Amino acid sequence: MRKKYFWVLLTAALGLSAGCGKRVYEDGVYTGRSGADSDGAWGEVTVTIAEGRVSDCRFVTYQKDGAVKGGDYGKVNGEISNRDYYNKAQLAVRAMDEYARRYSETGDLRKVDAVSGATIAFNQFIEAVEYALGKAVK
């Protein structure tokens, strides 16, 4: 079911960036939030539109309790108790930055590739961008 949801979301998001006919965006700063994943975590983007195009994007994901997934993500009580788990968690943190950077550079969701091991964050990114851009359409 989740895979089907991802493809529906991706198709809709690509429609916003490529669309049947070019979408026109109003300049401004727009935020979008994804739904929660099975662990209750969610992602939030801030997309800046200047001269009708994406000029900047920031992506942050949050744990169920609202804590930002950052340098401590994957630690237990501030300590790395499971190195493999911590490394996977930090891979996802780096991927979040990569998704936002790539989208800022290209302004095209089709040019943002999912990072293996960080597909949940990728799905959240696509969903949040789609929501933000929906607010920016003229």
DSSP output for 74-136: T-BTTB-S-HHHHHHHHHHHHHHHHHHHHHHHH--GGG-PPPTT-HHHHHHHHHHHHHHHHHH
CA distances from 79 to 23, 68, 88, 104, 118 (A): 47, 16, 15, 33, 22
Residue 62 confidence (pLDDT):
97
Residue 47 confidence (pLDDT):
98
Residue 5 confidence (pLDDT):
47
**Predicted confidence (pLDDT) at residue 15 exceeds the cutoff of 70:** no
Residue 22 confidence (pLDDT):
67
**Predicted confidence (pLDDT) at residue 9 exceeds the cutoff of 80:** no
**Predicted confidence (pLDDT) at residue 4 exceeds the cutoff of 70:** no
Quickly tell me which residue has 């975590």 as its tokens: 41
Structural domains in the chain?
A: 2-136 (3.90.1010.20)
**Predicted confidence (pLDDT) at residue 6 exceeds the cutoff of 80:** no
**Predicted confidence (pLDDT) at residue 100 exceeds the cutoff of 70:** yes
Kindly state the average pLDDT of the residues 75-92: 96
Q: Is the dihedral of CA 72, 73, 76, 79 positive or negative?
A: negative
Q: Read off the pLDDT of residues 101-137 as tens digits, 9 standing for 90 and up.
A: 999 999 999 999 999 999 999 999 999 999 999 999 9
Who contacts 106 (Cβ-Cβ below 8 Å, separation ≥6)?
A: 112
Q: How confident is the model at residue 23 (pLDDT cuts 50, 70, 90)?
A: confident
Cross-strand bridge partners of residue 76: 79
